[in-house]
Amino acid sequence: MFIKKYRKARDKNTSILVVGLDSDPEKIKGFKSVMEFNEHIVKETADLVCGYKINIAFYEKSGWRGYKALEETIELIKNETDLPIILDAKRGDIGNTARAYAKAYFDKLGVDSVTVNPYMGRDAIIPFLEKGHAFVLLLTSNESIGDVELHVYHKVLELAKELEKSYPERIGIVVGATRKEYIGKISNASGGLSWLIPGIGAQGGNPEVLRELKGKDIVVNVSRAIIFAENVRKKAEEFRELLARQYFD
């Protein structure tokens, strides 16, 4: 179960850092394959993180070869570590289709959590909660949140909290670290929901936002700033420290 694996890894490694394996084949230098690259990242970081997030887009862009690398990467993490895996797929569809996605990700791929787009409402979310854990998009890190999210995020929060009653410890929210002005308010209203916080590193989000989230189950994703660094382990250590200082102290 995602939350148990996460808490165990967080406490063991004193880390809320999740490394994002956004292993864009066009950016990988000096490795024969995506799989070899991911093996290197996992070997260098497994004792510094509380999990991995894999964004499916960077695998799908290579067709079936990319999907094979995705499967092999998940196998590797499961064989070599006890760390939870979040599949960042941002799915959201009618119940029948959502059930097919949930089956693919939890039963076939065997990940622990999936990111879900809540725009279609509970039918699109529940199939994921029945099989595992889901992080629903609440207030994302990108520029254009004013187009839709700012008008509806409070509704998404209400829905997530309602679903949490039937699926305790199986649902979380995605809030960008670039959303400093909203985080305190959302934190006060978020109860026992877990948090996925992207946007630190390449997107310039502020790690100080974590001070408002002490005691909550949070994972902070950093992708490009770590995986494409010259010294991956050193960068991951720096981010782990930076985040831990805000959250644990």
Ligand X SMILES: O=C(O)c1cc(=O)[nH]c(=O)n1[C@@H]1O[C@H](COP(=O)(O)O)[C@@H](O)[C@H]1O
150 versus 166: smaller Cβ distance to ligand X: 150
Position 92 contacts ligand X (CB under 6 A): no
Is 180 catalytic? The answer is no
One of 68, 90, 131, 216 is an active-site residue; which one?
A: 90
**Binding-site residue total for ligand X (CB under 6 A)?**
19
Stretch that binds ligand X, among 73-81, 154-162, 184-192, 196-204 (CB under 6 A): 196-204
12 versus 180: smaller Cβ distance to ligand X: 180
Residue of the chain from 45, 198, 213, 246 that contacts ligand X (CB under 6 A): 198
Q: How far apart are the two ends of the chain, measured CA to CA in Å?
A: 27
> Measured between alpha carbons, how far is 183 from 111 in angstroms, rounded to an integer?
28
Position 199 contacts ligand X (CB under 6 A): yes
230 versus 249: smaller Cβ distance to ligand X: 230
For residue 104, what are its two tokens?
């693919």
Phi, psi of 51 (to 5 degrees): 160, 175
| Sites of contact with ligand X (CB under 6 A) | 20, 22, 55, 88, 115, 140-141, 174, 176, 198-199, 201-203, 221-225
